[in-house]
Amino acid sequence: MRKLKLAIVSYINSLPLCWGFIQNRPKDRFELEFSPPALCADKIAAGSADIGLIPAIEYQRIPNLKIVPNLSVASKSSVRSVLLVSNVPWSRIRSVALDRSSRTSVILLRILLRMRFQLDPTLYSHEPDLASMLRRRDAALLIGDAALTADTAGLYRCDLAEAWREETGKPFVFAFWACRAESGLEDNSSFEESYRYGQAHLDDIVRQQSRQLRMPAEQVHSYLTRCIDYSLDEQNLNGLLHFYRLAREMKLIAESKPLQFVR
């Protein structure tokens, strides 16, 4: 039986979900590939990966996907790692440099700017370097590790998950595991086991990421335990469906197809 190709996001916020896979525990079942979020989705779309931790919006764009239940990368309040940073007040933003690894957060940004300020600025893809982004554009969208480590002193700063909660009263789901329907995945237990292993070894993740990102360990721990919610519970599903509805109503996606899960 062939190994399934598993596309894993290399950001800190995905590590508790992926730690069991990274430590090579189910090595007989999966072949791992590490990528930024957007590239994970591209690999799934192209068929070069069977399963991936994909940006939530990509479920609506890639045909014949099923969602691995119960797990996600979400936030029920502020997330700290999805930021709009600006040189100017929000109402004066006319151009935004986008972290090219982001897809879900781009749609979230467009929804929030329309809801709050009736704005639809021009968007430009960019490498995630804040100083360079803001030299060229009014504002910058940063996600993941780049957002966590960016120096935003003296700039306007908006946490998009927090803004979404203020506007809708709902949590926000940024990513989840999804598989191609033809992959033949029927047993979700490896994903649950990987997450449980990550939680059991959270101190190892914190130590590693504290060194790698040059952040105090207590900040890393707080981020992983207070800012990120790894469930795909009823509240998160409700927030996800609301996000899809708004994206469809604003014509930011062509359709809003129902959620289908691996059973």
Q: Quote the pLDDT of residue 186.
A: 79
Helical H segments across 35-103, by residue range:
37-46
Q: Quote the pLDDT of residue 253.
A: 97
Which amino acid appears at position 110 of this protein?
A: R
Q: Quote the pLDDT of residue 54.
A: 96
Instruction: Write b or e for each residue in 163-187: b if 16 or more Cβ atoms lie within 10 A of its Cβ, otherwise e.
Output: bbbeebebbbbbbbbbbbeebebee
Residue limits of CATH 3.40.190.10 in the chain: 4-74+172-249, 82-168
Q: Which of 137, 44, 11 is nearest to 85 (CA)?
A: 137
What does pTM read for this prediction? 0.96
Q: How many CA atoms lie within 13 A of 241 on its CB side?
A: 10
Class of domain 82-168: alpha beta
Q: Quote the pLDDT of residue 1.
A: 64
Q: Quote the pLDDT of residue 37.
A: 87
Chain centre distance of CA 262 = 20
Please state which of the four CATH numbers 3.40.190.10, 2.60.40.60, 3.40.1390.40, 3.40.640.10 is assigned to the domain occupying 4-74+172-249: 3.40.190.10
pLDDT (tens place) for every residue of the chain, 263 residues total = 688 999 998 899 999 999 999 997 766 789 999 988 899 999 999 999 999 999 999 999 999 999 999 999 999 999 999 999 999 999 999 999 999 989 999 999 999 999 998 999 999 999 999 999 999 999 999 999 999 999 999 999 999 999 999 999 999 999 999 999 999 887 889 999 999 999 999 999 999 999 999 999 999 999 999 999 999 999 999 999 999 999 999 999 999 999 999 98
In the chain, how many H helices and how many E strands? 10, 12
Distance (Å, whole) CA 258 – CA 128: 33
Q: Are 198 and 15 in contact (CB under 8 A)?
A: yes
